[in-house]
Structure 1
Amino acid sequence: MLEVLRSAWKLADLRKKILFTLAMLVVFRIGVHIPVPGINLDVIAELISQGQLLGFFDVISGGAFKNFSIFAMSITPYINASIIMQLLTVVIPALERLSKEPDGRRKMTQYIRYGTVILGFVQAVGISFGLRRAVIEPGVGTTLLIAITLTAGTAFLMWLGELITDKGIGNGISLIIFAGIVSRVPAGAVAIYEYLKAGTASVFIVLLFLVLAVAAIAGIVAIQEGQRRIPVQYAKRVVGRKIYGGQSTHIPLKVNQAGVIPIIFALSMIMFPPTIAAWFPENAIAGTIARVWTPENIWYQVVYALLIMFFTYFYTAITFNPSDIADNLKKYGGFIPGLRPGRPTAEYIEKVSSRITLAGAIFLAGIAVVLPSIVSLTRLPVYYGSTGLLIVVGVALDTMKQMESNLLMRHYQGFLK
Structure 2
Amino acid sequence: MNEDVPHDTGALRSVAGLAGAIVSAAIPPFLVGALAPRIALSIPLDTGDVGIAMAGFYLVSGVLSPAGGRVVHRLGPTAALRWACGLSTLGLAAISAASNPVQMIVLLTLLGVPNAVVQPSCNEVLSRLRSSQVRAVSFGAVQSSIPVATLIAGVLLAVASYGIGWRWTVLGVAVLTVAAQLPIPNLAPNTGAVSAVQPPPRRRSTSAARGPARGLLGLLVATGFLASCAVTSLPSFAATTGHHFGLAPWVIAAAQMLGSVGSAVMRVVAPALTSRASARRQLMAVALLQGTGTLGFVALATGSSAGFVAGTIAAFTFGWGFNGLFNLIVTDAHPGRIATATGLTQGGVFIGGMAGPLVFAAIAGSERFGAAWLAMALFMCGALSATLLAARRARSVTTAHTVVPAGPVTVPEGNRW
For the criterion TM > 0.5, the same-fold answer is: no
Larger radius of gyration: 1
Structure richer in strand, relative to its length: 1
TM-score, scaled to structure 1:
0.33
